[in-house]
Structure 1
Amino acid sequence: MSSSLHKLSAVGLKSLPSGKHEDGGGLRFVRRQDGTTAWVFRFTIHGRRREMGLGPYPDVSLKAAREMATEYRQQAKRGIDPIVKREAEKREAIRNLHMLKEIAQDCFEARKAELKGDGTAGRWFSPLENHILPKLGKMPIAEVDQVVVRDTLAPIWHEKAETARKAANRLNLVLKHAAALGLNVDLQAVDKARALLGKQRHEAKNIPALPWQEVPTFYASLGQGITELALRLLILTGVRSAPIRFAKPDQIDMEARIWTIPAELVKSRKGVTGDFRVPLTDEAIKVVEDALHHGGEVLFPGQREKPISDMTMSKLMRDRGMEARPHGFRSSLRTWAEETGQPYEVAETTLGHVVGNAVERAYQRSDLIEKRRALLAAWADYVTGNGGADVIPLNGVQR
């Protein structure tokens, strides 16, 4: 052993007075006036004198301090700054300790602006919250690999194929968000998990729709209750259920016969933002007037004056033994429009779909509201039997 190293002894450390005590090779033991202690390693790198703390005594023993000093001394000889290297290792360790749950929440917050109602409906986050985070939420995101993803999705991969697909897609976005934050993640984990899981047996099915030829009969069977009025307006306008449920009197201009659906209730459409105007036909205005008689902050109030629930209209149809669901009336309208030769761009815009590429939309600023008004007027005439439809009343209800 060199005489310039290991000058201190483990036994003698406790009795050393205040001051700086050299062990050799750059390792120094410091006892302060207040009795606290510290190990300090002094080295020269690129002609610059530096000091780095190794921790207090006795938390760091003499043996441990010497081992660290030896390692750092060798690094300095190779031109590696031990302080810079240690800080880099700390940052990497911190990055690798980020839990999946934290990153998922941060990803959700970052995407809220592009989600309907800032994601308050919970549909974007729920696949993660219900199927990914209960098992993987507390796992460091750096440890998320194809095996744990496969094991997490396996129970629902075939039985709940669409839910599994959404959960996988959301997790993939979270991993990309983590990578953008500079975290160490496997961006291929989800794709590799899909390969391990294999092709899904379950095929996604379209929401059942009532054939357009049967819509007049169903419409004629509806009464004047809140749920039935909501279904009437949904059928007549072709909008989704959320705008119907959250419709408010102040959204409707009775004189202009236009219903303006706020942007937060409009399903995200690539390249299109803002409110969505819906022209109201004579029949639609009658429905609105009937609904206004019920009063309330919303047009179709449920319990405690809150909007009717998402399942209320579906339940009415299900209780009648129907396979079709409310959302399917959009398909009924679109098919009728196709069969009766309605202009493609007018029919698509009526449903709130984006028509044309970005360049075409830049030049086509009109929302075709008057053409859509004519289309919906023809649809209303058909639905109510005024257009020559053969309406067969159900349950003895005649309009």
Structure 2
Amino acid sequence: MIPREPRKELGAAQVAALWRRGTNHVGGVRGLILNVTMYGSRSWVLRYQVAGKRRDLGLGSYPSVTLADAREAARAARAKLAQGIDPIEDARRARARLVAEIHTSMTFGEAAKRYIASHEKGWKNAKHAQQWQRSLDMYATPVLGKIPVRDISLAMVLKVLEPIWASKTETATRLRGRIESIIDWAIARGYRTDSNPARWKGLLDKLLPAPGKVTKTTHFQALPYAQLPVFMEQLVGQEGMGAKALLFLILTAARSGEVRGATWEEVDVAGRVWTIPAERMKASKAHRVPLSDAAIALLQEMKALATAAERTSGKAYVFPSPNSRDPELGSQLSDMTLTAVLRRLKLEAVPHGFRSTFRDWCAEQTDYPNEVAEMALAHTVGNKVEAAYRRGDLLAKRQQLMQDWADYALGRRAGSMTNGHSSDPLASTRDNTPDQHNNTEGAMQ
């Protein structure tokens, strides 16, 4: 039974003097009570009924909550009751929503770190995580970093991308993709329910110009193949691990990272094949590289250096950095080491450009089929139907192609580089007669 309301509203001074243990109605709002415990503590309660059952809604302790504040809170609760809303259940739902928001609240910066942490082990290059974090820190974090990922809007994404879309198009394109991936991760994890505002197709493609229309495609600077033999004569005479790695890169038409990351367990000198594992290939597919006489000679030289340095592990780098702190395996050369060799020789080209040099030479100076040259570069060949008919890697045909390439590059004479020295960098290691050409295996034993 709910006690009767007082005949008049009590004032602040009268409420302050209330110390009678139990419930004390103060008036002003029906059911507003000052409850006094046996220990003398006082608190506000709004007593009401829902479906015939008594309910007590706590409104805070007295005097922290004043009489005026308690009456205002009680009136608000009575207004909800008039609308058919139980204020106690409403408060519980509000607390549940708050707990849920706290659980699902994650800033973009936190989401980015968790996305990178969960994916970096699957990335082929350990530097990818650093590149991701660096680009995000430079461009995205200042705008999005502290924003809950659930609240990121299209306008915010554009605020990140628009300032650099025209001036740094490639960077902006990669950044957009990274933002999209992070928000997709947040959606999958339940930290966001709205669609992805960094999506390109059907959204940003309507607001930003296509990257290809903003800047012209720039190709890697390459040396014309007609100038290659003269350059190779200069290169063979260069000392240093960077020069050796660059020479091997040219002879194999491989990518810089593939050469710099090459280990001895990938090399089969007797079989004259270098097998690059899938995890180190751009297309994530293992690639066999046939080795010419000159490439074999260079590898024999590098093997002698490795043996002298007691780097006998198969996991040791073929072209280790001279600054390596690992005496057993060595460490990988930096890409700038190869570029520095080109600068030292005053050549306006980049290491990757020699793949273009090789491809142009194949097309203009040889009769090798297009697919042989493309496979030599580890490019995907043709469409799915063509690829299905050609399941092999044309190794035998590519073996002769790479030998012809080395012969051309070295002025039709393979360089003798045994023990790291040669009185003539272009001294012939093979006679160009047909009989000798077909009998090169013995020299590699």
Alignment of 1:13-24 (within 5 A): none
TM-score, with length taken from structure 2:
0.68
- What residue is the counterpart of 1:255 in the other structure? 270
CA RMSD of aligned residues (A): 4.5
- What residue is the counterpart of 1:221 in the other structure? 234
- What residue is the counterpart of 2:279 in the other structure? 264
Query: How many corresponding residue pairs?
Result: 384
Query: How many Å apart are 1:348 and its aligned residue?
Result: 2.4
The structure with the largest alpha-carbon Rg is 2
Quick one: distance in 2 between partners of 1:244 and 1:148?
42
Give 3-state SS (helix, strand or coil) of 1:260's partner: strand
Quick one: distance in 2 between partners of 1:52 and 1:205?
74
AA matched with 2:294: E
Query: How many Å apart are 1:144 and its aligned residue?
Result: 2.8
Deviation digits for residues 36-62 of structure 1 (CA, Å, limit 9, x no counterpart): 979799986xx9x99898786467763
Cα 1:137–1:121 change in 2 (3 A) is closer
| Equivalent pair of 1:243/1:266 in contact (CA under 8 Å) | yes
Cα 1:239–1:320 change in 2 (3 A) is same
- What residue is the counterpart of 1:131 in the other structure? 139
- What residue is the counterpart of 1:393 in the other structure? none
AA matched with 1:375: L
Give 3-state SS (helix, strand or coil) of 1:371's partner: helix
Structure 1's unaligned 5+ residue stretches are 389-395
| Equivalent pair of 2:254/2:377 in contact (CA under 8 Å) | yes
Which of 116-125 and 169-178 deviates more?
Answer: 116-125
Match status 1:326 vs 2:351:
yes
Match status 1:210 vs 2:223:
yes
Match status 1:170 vs 2:185:
no
- What residue is the counterpart of 2:441 in the other structure? none
Give 3-state SS (helix, strand or coil) of 1:122's partner: helix
Give 3-state SS (helix, strand or coil) of 2:245's partner: helix
- What residue is the counterpart of 1:287 in the other structure? 298
Cα 1:42–1:121 change in 2 (3 A) is same
Cα 1:366–1:40 change in 2 (3 A) is farther
Bigger relative CO (Cα 8 Å, ≥ 6 apart): 1
- What residue is the counterpart of 1:188 in the other structure? 197
| Equivalent pair of 2:157/2:197 in contact (CA under 8 Å) | no
Query: How many Å apart are 1:230 and its aligned residue?
Result: 0.4
Quick one: distance in 2 between partners of 1:36 and 1:118?
63
| Equivalent pair of 2:252/2:291 in contact (CA under 8 Å) | yes
Match status 1:93 vs 2:108:
no
- What residue is the counterpart of 2:258 in the other structure? 243
| Equivalent pair of 1:227/1:312 in contact (CA under 8 Å) | yes
Query: How many Å apart are 1:235 and its aligned residue?
Result: 1.0
Give 3-state SS (helix, strand or coil) of 2:323's partner: helix
TM-score, with length taken from structure 1:
0.75
Structure 2's unaligned 5+ residue stretches are 325-330, 415-422, 427-445
Quick one: distance in 1 between partners of 2:17 and 2:128?
62
Deviation digits for residues 150-169 of structure 1 (CA, Å, limit 9, x no counterpart): 33334433332211221122
Give 3-state SS (helix, strand or coil) of 2:346's partner: coil
Query: How many Å apart are 1:227 and its aligned residue?
Result: 0.8
Query: How many Å apart are 1:263 and its aligned residue?
Result: 3.4
- What residue is the counterpart of 2:376 in the other structure? 350
| Equivalent pair of 1:96/1:141 in contact (CA under 8 Å) | no
